[in-house]
């Protein structure tokens, strides 16, 4: 029904307008009591899908990636579509409008999107208020820096977000890999990234001690455009800093093999969707093999079918996330992936918290 009727209608509208429309429809549906109906149709209830990773129990390994619920407004409602976890953000200390529009483009021939949103969000304090509701799902907090903050002061922004969200999220995702904030990806270089992650790790431990709770897992979200040498650096940095895992990967600045019109291919921004599937899986496999499977990985990028998700799990991911595939394939994709995981009976990659 979604691909045959709803998607063609939604795709007549501007992508960002569709996003806001969809949000409003989900909000209305929840208010009139349809959440239970959504859970009945989309949630696969089977304990064999549960995953234990860095001290968190996920009801299933399929999550919604950051960027969909930027301001933590509908994480519970979105979980009704079958997700095992929802990552909110990217959040910054101060509210910011992001880049000027138009800033999302559909590449229908490639089942892809190009976006240059630029960390548009209402600020971390607003999100914290939203997160005070009871959670029906594991929630990750994706954090970044404000556009006006120079890189040498970036750690302060990330620390503000960590401090503010610590009581309310289950894990943190450190976003230094978006291509839409000028200079942000320079923070992936070894020296600044090591310093940033160590600062976050130290503050995390301090907050945990103050509240007499366990530290929150910290994951690093990386770009797919890194070289093998840079990926080896990432492995070393993760181990050296003692953070808990990697999210691979963010959107790409590459444009190889696209079929969309030239004017679309030349739009600035990060490319997501099917064209990213192969490269993100390559990155996952490289990280898993070179780290001897010692670093938990959440795989994201180009998952449009159950087989796409299974490929990432076989490559070494413990969990997967959707975004563009959710837009193109609809909410039924989550259920299909979970059923395929049960049928495939893959070995479960469980991981305790790293010390």
Q: Give catalytic residue positions.
A: 178
CATH of 2-344, one of 2.60.40.420, 3.20.20.70, 3.40.309.10, 3.40.50.1370: 3.20.20.70
Q: Which two tokens stand for residue 221?
A: 């979200």
Q: How confident is the model at residue 44 (pLDDT cuts 50, 70, 90)?
A: very high
Q: Are 131 and 139 in contact (CB under 8 A)?
A: yes
Q: Are 157 and 145 in contact (CB under 8 A)?
A: yes
**Average pLDDT for 335-339:** 98
Which of helix, strand or coil describes residue 34?
Answer: coil
Query: Which is more confident, 232 or 353?
Result: 232
**Average pLDDT for 323-348:** 94
Q: How confident is the model at residue 345 (pLDDT cuts 50, 70, 90)?
A: confident
Q: Are 90 and 144 in contact (CB under 8 A)?
A: yes
Output DSSP code: residue 351.
B
Q: How confident is the model at residue 354 (pLDDT cuts 50, 70, 90)?
A: very low
Domains in the chain: boundaries: 2-344
């Amino acid at each position: 029904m979604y691909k045959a009727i709803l998607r063609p209608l939604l795709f007549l509208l501007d992508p960002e307008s569709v996003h806001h429309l969809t949000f409003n429809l989900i909000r209305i549906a929840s208010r009139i009591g349809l959440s239970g109906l959504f859970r009945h149709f989309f949630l696969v209830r089977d304990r064999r899908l549960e995953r234990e990773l860095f001290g968190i129990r996920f009801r299933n390994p399929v999550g919604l990636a950051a960027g969909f619920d930027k301001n933590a407004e509908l994480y519970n409602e979105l979980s009704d579509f079958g997700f095992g976890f929802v990552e909110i953000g990217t959040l910054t200390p101060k509210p910011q409008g992001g880049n000027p529009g138009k800033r999302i483009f559909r590449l229908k021939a490639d089942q892809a999107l190009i976006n240059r949103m630029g960390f548009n969000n209402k600020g971390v304090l607003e999100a914290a208020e939203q997160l005070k509701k009871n959670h029906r799902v594991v929630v990750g907090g994706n954090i970044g820096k404000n556009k006006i903050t120079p890189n040498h002061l970036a750690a302060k922004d990330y620390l503000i977000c960590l401090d503010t969200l610590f009581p309310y999220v289950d894990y943190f995702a450190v976003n230094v890999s978006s291509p839409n904030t000028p200079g942000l990806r320079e923070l992936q270089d070894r020296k600044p990234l090591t310093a940033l992650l160590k600062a976050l790790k130290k503050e995390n431990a301090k907050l945990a001690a103050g509240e007499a709770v366990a530290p929150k897992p910290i994951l690093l979200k990386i770009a797919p455009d890194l070289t093998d040498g840079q990926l080896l650096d990432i492995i070393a940095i993760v181990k050296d800093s003692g953070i808990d895992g990697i999210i691979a990967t963010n959107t790409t600045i590459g444009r190889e093999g696209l079929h969309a019109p030239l004017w679309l291919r030349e739009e600035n921004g990060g490319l997501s969707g099917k064209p990213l599937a192969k490269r993100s899986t390559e990155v996952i496999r490289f990280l898993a093999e070179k780290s001897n499977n010692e670093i938990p990985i959440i795989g994201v990028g180009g998952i449009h079918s159950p087989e796409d998700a299974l490929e990432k799990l076989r490559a070494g991911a413990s969990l997967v996330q959707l975004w563009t595939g959710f837009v193109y394939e609809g909410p039924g994709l989550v259920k299909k992936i979970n059923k395929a995981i049960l049928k495939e009976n893959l070995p479960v990659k469980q991981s305790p918290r790293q010390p």
